Amino acid sequence: MTFSIAARDADAWGVAVASKFLAVGSVVPRVVLGHCAIATQAMARVAYLDELEAALRAGTPTAEALAAALAGDDGGAHRQVGVVGPDGPATHTGAECLHWAGGRTGAEGRSAYAIQGNILVGPQVVEAMETAWHEHAGAPLDERLVAVLLAGDAAGGDARGRQSAALLVRRPGAGYDASGVLADLRVDDHPEAPHELARLHQLSSLYFGTAQDVRPLEGPLRAEVAALLAAVGHAPVSDDVEAALEAWMGEANLENRHASGGIDTRVLGVLRDGLPTGP
């Protein structure tokens, strides 16, 4: 009833998941920087999250940690688990998981993934997810996982339909307060949950990301920005466009993207088109 990817890329760790199941993000993912990304699903045993995290923190190899968790569970034949630890990935699909069910793993350098799904339309779902993982190499892990999830959905996803999706990604120093949370998003009940998750991710990256592509506030661009600020009630005083821009960005919750002497291109897009609102 679920398809997911648990992954690591350099110092970033994360899980993306979608399902015809209410609030799948409350059950499936666990991400701990430097130690693990875990997805527990099918007849999910949430206790696996604590057990696997503890084993991986203690230095147990990933495959051994997963085998030990399964050995202590009489219902292992009904479970599906994907886990990435410091030494690589492992995935398990119990023999009694509902058709179609299966998974794939891969690793290269400091990058690794475990992709798995059950009650899918067919193996093409995990195949498409794996292809998307490789096609988006080099992208930030949160963007990469969203692309993987959308690829699985486009390939048919959960055979019963859509209901919920979630994305949890951690990277050192990331997030609004630099606490390491790059993305923590859930869509608990929505008819197009994977696409709604992607929309929320775009908003999250806008509001909580930092300035990436900064253009100097000079010449025609400076005049354009001054006019746009005036249109939203922040007309520059004494031609101090920088101060007016900073004040507006604080009001619009875009302060993380402030860049001295310039304007981030996504902020410029918001000024030109307005703040994103609905789907």
pLDDT higher than threshold 70 for residue 279: no
Burial classification of residue 131, based on how many CB atoms lie within 10 Å of its CB (0-12 exposed, 13-18 middle, 19 or more buried):
middle
CA 22 and chain centroid, separation = 18
Structure tokens at 157: 């996803």
pLDDT tens for 172-220 read: 999 878 889 999 999 999 999 999 999 999 999 999 888 989 999 999 9
User: What is the per-residue pLDDT for 1?
Assistant: 72
- Which amino acid is present at 99? H
Determine if the pTM surpasses 0.75. yes
pLDDT value of residue 178 = 87
Integer Cα distance of 2 and 14 in angstroms: 17
Q: What pLDDT does 17 receive?
A: 98
pLDDT of residue 175: 84
Determine what percent of the chain is predicted with pLDDT higher than 70: 99
User: Per-residue pLDDT tens for 148-185?
Assistant: 999 999 999 999 999 999 999 999 999 878 889 999 99
Is the domain spanning 2-191 CATH 3.60.20.10? The answer is yes
Parse the chain into domains and list their residue ranges.
2-191, 214-273
Instruction: List, for residues 141-158, the tens digit of each pLDDT value.
Output: 999 999 999 999 999 999
Distances (CA, A) of 116 to 95, 102, 203: 14, 6, 27
**What is residue 81's predicted lDDT score, i.e. its pLDDT?**
98
> What is the Cα–Cα distance from 107 to 126, expressed in whole angstroms?
16
How does DSSP assign 44-110, residue by residue? --THHHHHHHHHHHTT--HHHHHHHHHHT-TTGGGEEEEEEETTEEEEEE-TTSPSS-EEEEEEETT
pLDDT at 264 over 80: yes
At 274 the pLDDT is 85
